[in-house]
Amino acid sequence: MAMTQAFIDELQREGATTRRVLERVPQDKLTWKPHAKSWSLGSLALHIAQVPGAIADLITPTTREVFPFTQAEAASTGEILKALDDSLTKASGELAGWSDGDLMTEWKMTAGPKTVMAMPRIAVVRTVMLNHWYHHRGQLSVYLRELDVPVPAIYGPSADENPFGA
């Protein structure tokens, strides 16, 4: 199996899990923050929904100039779920167009003439698209727990859901 197909398969599996988590986001709590320095629930959830597609877009050219990042706050749970669908479609489409050689191509982020970051695209897909996505999904599960929203099973049972029937 080509590496790109393995990533697409992972996106689909993890996208289904991410959807189960995002579906639990209570629309009436989108502005809630667990701490003054934290993102709001709506900002974190929308970021999670947008990560795969945004990163695919970011790394499609082999060089990208640093840009200021801001995160919008979602207005509804429906907006979050639509953003996830769009993001998965975008990421899967970009990955499908790449060969294994394209994944090994060096990707760079620059600030003018200075290289800020350089690594093979495959490393960016693994660390920034996927691992970063999972990290934030884990944060969201803590937000849900703090809001007393039942946390879905992610890689195994949660205190609220056991996919193994026990």
Buried b or exposed e, range 33-48, using 16+ CB within 10 angstroms: ebeeeebbbbbbbbbb
What is the rounded CA–CA span in Å between residue 134 and residue 112?
Answer: 31
Per-residue pLDDT tens over the stretch 124-145: 999 999 999 999 999 999 999 9
Right CATH for 3-146 from 3.40.50.10880, 1.10.540.10, 1.20.120.450, 3.60.21.10: 1.20.120.450
Q: Do 20 and 108 meet the contact criterion of CB atoms below 8 Å apart?
A: no
Give the global pTM: 0.94
Question: What average pLDDT does the segment 64-86 reach?
Answer: 95
pLDDT computed for residue 67 by the predictor: 87
Does the pLDDT of residue 1 top 80, yes or no? no
Counting every residue, how long is the chain? 166
Per-residue pLDDT tens over the stretch 9-18: 999 999 999 9
Per-residue pLDDT tens over the stretch 88-129: 999 999 999 999 999 999 999 999 999 999 999 999 999 999
Segments making up each domain of the chain, as ranges: 3-146
